Structure 1
């Protein structure tokens, strides 16, 4: 997901490393912080693979800074990642939000809709944090106040997301 986020932010505009890190932190930092030990090796891999260009610019009042921009190969990689997110990118909320953050870069509305349909299909499958003999436990079925809270919040969030996904699919189905 880190590489998808890097490619996605750089598809919008060239950024220097610090700006990129701040945007990554804003996107998922409260849930999954991005360390320098993960970010800079990922940038090095993407540059080596020809997906990013880098050049040095003089900083306004600081030392020179490395500015990164997306190459055509990087854009192709971004679009491929958006067209075909892995199962974890569909089922994990934080990962799916990362896909959503950049899904607008896919130029084909049907491809966008296909990704949203996969998420909606996942959300329509009955599930729970807790099970009784293989059956999902509902909030009303547990006597545990705290588990009940988890289940109620998850249900409300799921209902809101399913409603939004259906609305978005309806919009994407309209002629552009």
Structure 2
């Protein structure tokens, strides 16, 4: 998720590391805030791999700022990750939220649609949180507190399923209209 966030935010505009960390924390901070100990090694790996560059610009307080810019290789890496996300990016709610934050950067609506359809297929699969000897336990078989987990998840899945169906239908129509022109 961190690499995707870095590449995604830098695809939108060059940023200094502090601003980048602030944006990443804004997107994912409710789950886990990004620390310097995670961010800077990730930035160094991406820089060493040729995915981003760093240059100095004058800062507002006189000290120079290190500004990060995405390279063409970095953009290609980002687009590849968006077009063909791993299973975790589809099945993990937080990873999928990060993917959604940058899905608009994929230039082809067909690629966007394919990703959303994968998520919709996942959301439509039955799921359980608790098991008894390998058998999935239903909401009416657990205590009131565990039932709350089922209730919250069911509401979120319903809302997301509805949104995914609306967006995939819209994209399908847009793709069909573009092909006719």
Same fold (TM > 0.5): yes
Partner of 2:172: 173
- Aligned partner of 1:67 in structure 2 is 67
**Matched-pair contact (CA < 8 Å) for 1:126–1:136:** no
Take 1:138 and 1:165, find their aligned partners in 2: how far apart are those partners? 25
**2:40 counterpart of 1:43:** no
Please give the residue correspondences for 1:86-165 in structure 2 after superposition, counting only pairs within 5 Å.
86-142=86-142, 144-165=143-164
Q: TM-score, normalised by structure 2?
A: 0.93
Structure 2 alignment gaps of length 5 or more: none
CA deviation after TM superposition for structure 1 residue 133, in Å: 4.5
Q: State the SS of the aligned residue for 2:126.
A: coil
SS at match of 2:79: helix
Q: After TM superposition, give the deviation of residue 132 of structure 1 in Å.
A: 3.5
Q: CA separation in 1, counterparts of 2:96 and 2:168?
A: 16
2:20 corresponds to 1:53: no
Q: Please say which of residues 98-107 and 122-131 is displaced more in the overlay.
A: 122-131
Count of equivalent residues? 175
Determine helix, strand or coil for the equivalent of 1:30: coil
SS at structure 2 position matched to 1:174: helix
Distance 1:106 1:116 in 2: 12
How far 1:62 moved relative to its partner?
4.8
How far, CA to CA, are the matches of 1:31 and 1:2 in structure 2?
A: 12
TM-score by length of 1: 0.95
- Residue 54 of structure 2 aligns to a residue whose secondary structure is strand
Unaligned runs of 5+ in 1: none
Question: What root-mean-square deviation, in Å, do the aligned CA atoms of Structure 1 and Structure 2 show?
Answer: 1.2
The structure-2 alpha-carbon separation of the partners of 1:145 and 1:22, relative to structure 1 and needing over 3 Å to count, comes to same
For residues 26 and 76 of structure 1, what CA distance do their matches in structure 2 show? 25
Using the TM superposition, give the Cα deviation of residue 35 of structure 1 relative to its aligned residue in structure 2, in angstroms. Answer: 1.1
